Structure 1
């Protein structure tokens, strides 16, 4: 498992969750991977492992039977694998496209609709943005809040329970740098994008279905957004063996369509 959060090169003990709790660390041995909070004790078939409160990334810990585990700091892509899921989360490559296409960075304010597991919201917060995200299902929203604490971004992500369209009048106009949508009613939200976004702000809409994607793109143009582009998000893994190199013959996995537009 790998990632590239530049801020994650710091020592583990430099980071705490907003409520004062320690942000969990990953304990890795071969293909085993456990998420444990500093100061906790973990029992495995390899023995009992005590995790010091001041544990740091790069440390080696031994169970009482002498088996070693390496300590890794929880990095952005790890959230995809360790967050509690309430559905199918957006995959890392699609999150990368959203952040790359919209330029989300430190100091940005993002309005997100369709929180779900919260992976996208957490990754945008780890990029330095302040995120307000809406989730209609109260139980899902509770899980998302727990996931934000796990990812150490509770102070940067405001998880709200409800329908953002029902509360649209309560949102301050021209106060968001980026609008990210992963909901069935995304076209209706896109209608409000010019009012919600700052000049030059972006809207990014993810959908698994082409019908809603087309409606999003058409709505974006109708309300005056510019640079409207839609791409299918597909990647092919490469295969290397003694015969040669080529894309894997496994089926190409479709994840969805990403539409990006700008408020000019």
Structure 2
């Protein structure tokens, strides 16, 4: 799928719905006709008088509204990848382990051109639809297949500025980083288990990558009430481990 699927968010209190302009939308709060020319910032009312605010779909919203084929990378981890690698306009990124495509779409929205590999053809189709929803279908090429089986063709393409990996066989791709990346290019590997991160780090050192660092990605929300302020007692927000390295 190419092009941009134009949709907007309708927001009322803690409710949020993704709709297409021109759509008739109904909930227990009433039926709402969404105009074809609806714009963010407008207020629309259902036939019962319930007001919904119209909001544009922005980067962090992709996590909540992409069609999922697995657990997508959370916004804070996406931010770490982009921040640690400096992905920006004009960069060329190779991404392996597309999944839902939140990371690939976010990197494209930051201005990069992304080639992303997804092993499951059906999941790849979903990812393409998600790219269209995010408005980056022209900047993200979703390839169905195993990236390791495509190495011969990849080395014939221009070198990449950044290599991002979220796959179980990441160490095998790390071995190829010096060949695939430009001088000074970045590698970012997201791992669910610390044992995987250790193998990635060892491989990165073996192939001569520099500035090899691993961080646990964890975040706690704060609670503020009349009694005082403290970190939330909700489960600790650990998601995984991010290893970043660089070619010489």
Match among 124, 127, 134 for residue 144 of structure 1: 127
Match among 68, 78, 86 for residue 95 of structure 1: 78
**In structure 1, distance between residues paired with 2:139 and 2:167:** 22
1:22 is displaced (CA, Å) by 4.4
Q: Identify unmatched segments of 5+ residues in structure 1.
A: 1-16
**In structure 2, distance between residues paired with 1:248 and 1:68:** 32
Given the superposition, is the C-alpha separation of residues 42 and 105 from structure 1 closer, same or farther in structure 2, using an over 3 Å criterion? same
**In structure 1, distance between residues paired with 2:195 and 2:171:** 11
Say which SS state the counterpart of residue 218 (structure 2) adopts: coil
Q: Is the 8 A contact 1:173 1:197 kept in 2?
A: no
Q: Is the 8 A contact 1:114 1:181 kept in 2?
A: yes
**TM-score, with length taken from structure 1:** 0.90
1:18 is displaced (CA, Å) by 4.7
* Counterpart for residue 107 of structure 1: 90
1:166 aligns with 2:152: no
**TM-score, with length taken from structure 2:** 0.95
Q: Deviations over 1:189-225 (max 9, x none)?
A: 0000011111111000000111111010111111111
* Counterpart for residue 259 of structure 1: 243
**In structure 2, distance between residues paired with 1:163 and 1:184:** 12
1:50 is displaced (CA, Å) by 1.6
* Counterpart for residue 72 of structure 1: 55
Match among 2, 6, 9 for residue 26 of structure 1: 9
Match among 233, 244, 264 for residue 228 of structure 2: 244
Q: Deviations over 1:80-103 (max 9, x none)?
A: 001111111111111100000000
* Counterpart for residue 54 of structure 1: 37
- What is the CA RMSD across the aligned residues, in angstroms? 1.4
* Counterpart for residue 11 of structure 1: none
1:144 is displaced (CA, Å) by 0.9
Say which SS state the counterpart of residue 179 (structure 1) adopts: strand
1:151 is displaced (CA, Å) by 1.1
Q: Deviations over 1:90-119 (max 9, x none)?
A: 111111000000000011110000000100
* Counterpart for residue 86 of structure 1: 69
1:175 is displaced (CA, Å) by 1.5
Q: Is the 8 A contact 1:22 1:38 kept in 2?
A: no
* Counterpart for residue 205 of structure 1: 189
